[in-house]
Each structure stands twice: as C-alpha cells, then as structure tokens.
Amino acid sequence: MKQILTVLLLLCGFTFTTNAQSYEKLADDTFKYIKAGTFGKPKVAKNTAKLAIGQVRVHYKFITSRASAANKNNAADVTVYLDGEMTKGDLQKLTDEFYTILQQKLAAAGVSFADWKAIESTEYFAERQKSQEDKKPQDSDGKNGQAWLSFSAFDGPVLLKWRPYGSPELVGFGQLKKMAKTGKTAGGDFVTFDVVVDFASIMLNAEIKQDKKGWFYGDPYFHSDYSIGGSMSVPQSYIFMVDEKNNFDIYQNDLPIAERFSFAGKPYKDESKAALKTQTFYGGERHTFTPLVIPAKRDLYLTAARRVLSIYAEMFAAKMKLLRDGTTPSDNRTVAQEQPKDSGKTIEQVNAQAKQNNAPTPVTTGELTSAAQDAVKAGNFKLATQYYGEIIKKYPNEPEAYFARGMVLMDKLNDGKAALSDFSKVIEIKPNFNDALAFYNRGTIHLRSKDWKKAISDFDAFIKVTPTHVDAYNNRAIAYYNIGKPDEALADFSNIIRVDPRNALAYKNRAMLYRARGNATQAQADELRAAQIERGQ
C-alpha cells in the first residue's frame, strides 16, 4: 500500500488563500541556533558589530550516499561518485573566494570585519597552524558512505574541529577563552564557518508492494526507486561565534540550500571509477556501493559551487540582519477577497421597472449581451444568467451564450452542476470554441468536486489545443497527485516553469512535492528560487 503524504497545492482559477514565503523568512527557517551563550538565547550574533572570521572551511563532497535502512554499517544502496577535472588548487582558490563573499554579504547586514593578517598574527592561530603542518584535505565517513575534500581559506589551520556527519568538537572553557582572546586581539567577535558542498541529489520513492499470484496475493515486500542527478547544494553547515566575554552562539542550517544550475552530465555506471574512488577514500574497508558516476565539467562545477556558496552567504547575512534588528520575518500572507452578494433581481422585475419608467428593454442579441455584462458588473449575477438564457432560446446551437452563462454560474454563483451542463453543451456544439476553454472550465469544476480522473481527461483535451496555459498544467498536477501519480504532477509543475520561468507558485508547489518525496535538496532549490522571484530577482 503506497503511502501518500499530504501536500498543500494551490488551485489556479479559484480564490484561495496563498502563502508567499519571503526570502527573509526562508533564511530564518534555514538557519537555527543549537546552543547559545549564557542566557540560552542568541546573543553574539544579535549584538556583534565586527567579526573576526578566523576559519572558513569548505568540505567538497566527492562521494555521496543514501542508505535505505538505518544502522546499516559500511553499506549504502545508492552511492554516487563525482568525476571531474577540478584540481585541489581550484578548490582552494574557490574557498578563498568564499571567505571574501562572506565578508561582502555580511557587510550588507551592517557587520564589519577584522583584517585577516590581524587574525594570522594571533597566538592561538600560530599555535594551531604549527600543530597542523602535515594536515591533509581528504576525509571520509565509511559508516555513512560519504567522502569529501576539505579546504581552509588561505590555507589556514583548523581552529575548531567539525566533520560532516559527525559530532562537533567539544569546546572546553580554556579553548573558549583562547577564541575570545583571538577575536579581541584581532578586533572583533571570533567566528568559524564549516560548510559542506554536495554535488548530487538522490530522491527516494519507497512503497510496500504486493504481487498478485493467481487467486492469491504474494507476501508484501519493500520496494524503492531512486532518482539521481547533479544538483549543487549546501546540505550542512556549522557556525561557532564567541565574543570577548566568552558568550557563544552555535548555528547550523536545518534545511539544505540548493542552486539550480546545470553543471553535470547524465549519470552512468562505471565500476572501475567507483572502485578507484572507493579505494582512494576508504582504503581496505569493504563497502557495497552502486557504481554510479556523475560527470562534471570543471568550469561549470566551479561556477555552480561558487553560486551556491554565494547564496549561502547571502541567506546567512539575511539571518544576521533579522537577529540584529530584532524583527520577525513576514510570510506575506494574503487574504481572499469576498465575492459581492447577488441582488436577486429577475428579468421580469427589471423589465417591469423599465416599462414604468418608459425605458426600452433589451430585445436583440447585442442588447441582451450588453445587459448581461452590465448585470455582472453590478453584481446582479442571476439576472445575467437570465439574459444569457434569452439568447440561448433564440440561438440554441450557438456556443457563445452557453459559455458566458457557464462562466457566471461557475465563478460568481458557485453552481458547478449548472455550469457543467453549459460547458458540456459548448463542447458538444464546438469543442475548440475559444481555444477549447470549455474543457478547461469543465475540468476545473471536476477538480473542485474531486472527480480527479474526469478533470485530467478535460485538462488533457485543453492542453492539446493550448499547450502553454500554465493554470491547466497546475490543476492537472493537482489531479495527478490526488490519484497517486506524483511523477506526473512533478512533470506538470516542470512544464509550468518551462513555459513561465518566473512562476513562483509553480516552484513552491514543485518544492512541496519534492519535500513530500524526501528530496530536501531539490525542494530547497525551488523554495529559494520562488523567494528570489518574489523579491524581483
């Protein structure tokens, strides 16, 4: 039995409450403090005016894995290897750039910086540098099937030990004092950054299946499918801040920060490359990894990594600004507008009033149409449907009045049953009338009544005639999702983005589906893009 997670999807064509998440709120949700100073609340970041960035380390993933079972030592069902021509010099240079990018982004939040040379000249820096002269950038986590190369900006020492997928170094009071002294000597509050850059997205789709064998069903079994592709992200980071009074804050990103930038080719299998990288990182340990390789072009990889690191810095700067300003980010929630109430007038009453005032009554098709449109503008919706009804009596085989009356019944009077009849009549007379919009409207009514399969059929017919209508893709995606076809729903949200790359709602809806399917990296990339679009970027 397949488990379907509840996902909030917004229907186009109806008036619903929308939730436009701001960029600041996304940053606030992404970065969370996990340990604060003396009073148990963020203090250093909130009050700092100047930072001494003593350590910026970037851990570039070269092997990334996802296991299907917990506590499965030295094994992973899916492991992906990065294959590219990036050199250690490239990654060191990029890490140095990231240090500068952090300064630039944080400066926008009103934070100034101590000079790197002032940090280099401190006692604690020199002490750690001397003890790590033979340090190597290569590291791995055999238990979790991960491997990476770590680089410190300007080839500086590790002042605070933190390994991805492991526990951070426990900082004793003596070391805390050294950090505080380092910051004070350099002229700012001491801070370290550790950031992981991953290159792949592995999406798990798992379900319990049961084969039918003759008259009997076989035993249930666990089935999982993986979707794998190149996707640049920062899945983890660790920030440690200390002021001169030994107060400290610790922050980490609870959500991955991902960037949609094509840098990789199609994944392929190559057991020789997988075996070589496994041996290089894990030595003689035995692992059961799948030999999947993602090829990356050097320049594109470095561009994508630089972009995601820049976004990370910008989002952390937004978090810092919120902390320093003491503000709470808004989610930009909008309220649905209330429909005007119908007057309840009938065509007989209007005609009687006109006769009393010696005014003409509408008789011709043009006059009846104008009267119907004026009635809609005045909020007299039932009266408008009666005017259209008079036209239909005169011309029962023409689609225009049926379509117009159906629109009023659907949008203004919420009478789906009557509207369904009118749109069906339009389709019977002329299926492609007004670019087949009767199919779209009828599909929308089916969607509202949760008749998902009929909705899909009507949206199929409409999209065939009008393949660039984003609302039709959105509504069909909702129907697909509700009959248990998330892949088709994802494809439709992607179709919207293809037609309209700045459609924030499509990115949000696709993100919610990604998150429901366990792909936090792709979800965060879409959420971030939606927030950027809403900021006008």
**CA within 13 Å, CB half, 13:** 24
Is the pLDDT reported for residue 9 higher than 80? Answer: no
How many CB atoms lie under 10 A from the CB of residue 155?
Answer: 12
Tell me what pLDDT residue 236 has.
Answer: 92
Residue-level pLDDT at 19: 45
Whose CA is closest to 383, among 392, 373, 395? 373
pLDDT of residue 319: 92
Residue 261 confidence (pLDDT): 82
Kindly tell me if the per-residue pLDDT of 442 is higher than 60: yes
pLDDT in tens, 224-248: 556 777 889 999 999 999 999 999 9
Check: CATH 1.25.40.10 for 347-500?
yes
Band (pLDDT 50/70/90 cuts) for residue 20 is very low
In this prediction, residue 36 carries a pLDDT of: 53
Give the single-character DSSP code of 509.
H
What pLDDT shows up at residue 337? 44
Check residue 68 and give its pLDDT.
55
**C-alpha span between 240 and 91 (Å, rounded):** 23
pLDDT at 210: 57
Q: Would the pLDDT of 358 be above 50? A: yes
pLDDT value of residue 189: 95
Q: Running DSSP on this structure, what letter comes out for residue 58?
A: E
Measured torsion, CA atoms of residues 197, 201, 207, 211, in degrees rounded to the nearest 10: -140
- Express each pLDDT in 262-320 by its tens digit: 888 888 888 888 888 888 888 766 665 677 899 999 999 999 999 999 999 999 999 99
Q: Which residues contact 78 (CB under 8 A, 6 or more apart)?
A: 65, 66, 68, 202, 226, 228, 290, 292
How does the average pLDDT of the chain come out, rounded? 82
Phi, psi of 493 (to 5 degrees): -65, -35
Residue 4 — very low, low, confident or very high, per pLDDT cuts 50/70/90?
very low
**First CA to last CA distance, the chain:** 43
| Global pTM value | 0.73
pLDDT tens per residue, range 130-151: 887 666 677 888 777 889 999 9
Instruction: Tell me the per-residue pLDDT of 182-212, one tens digit each, with 9 for 90 and over.
Output: 999 999 999 999 999 999 887 655 555 555 5
Portion of the chain with pLDDT greater than 90, in percent: 42
| Higher per-residue confidence, 434 vs 332 | 434
391-427 pLDDT tens trace: 999 999 999 999 999 999 998 898 999 999 999 999 9
Nearest to 54 by CA among 164, 143, 187, 167: 187
What's the pLDDT band for 24 if we cut at 50, 70, 90?
Answer: confident
| DSSP string for 393-437 | HH-TT-HHHHHHHHHHHHHTS--HHHHHHHHHHHHHH-TTTTTTH
Copy the structure tokens of residue 238: 């660790």
Question: What does the alpha-carbon distance between residue 525 and residue 532 come to, in Å, rounded to a whole number?
Answer: 11
The more confident residue out of 92 and 277 is: 92
Rounded to an integer, what is the distance from CA 431 to the centroid of its chain? 38
Long-range contacts of 116-119 (CB under 8 A, 24+ apart): 116/53, 116/154, 118/52, 118/185, 118/186, 118/187, 119/52, 119/53, 119/54, 119/182, 119/186
User: CATH 1.25.40.10 occupies which residues in the chain?
Assistant: 347-500
What tokens does 526 get?
Answer: 């879409």
Length of the chain as a residue count: 537
Could you say which DSSP state residue 255 is in?
S
Question: Which tens digits make up the pLDDT trace of 451-498?
Answer: 999 999 999 999 999 998 988 999 999 999 899 898 899 999 999 999
Residue 359: predicted pLDDT = 57
Confidence at residue 272, expressed as pLDDT on a 0 to 100 scale: 86
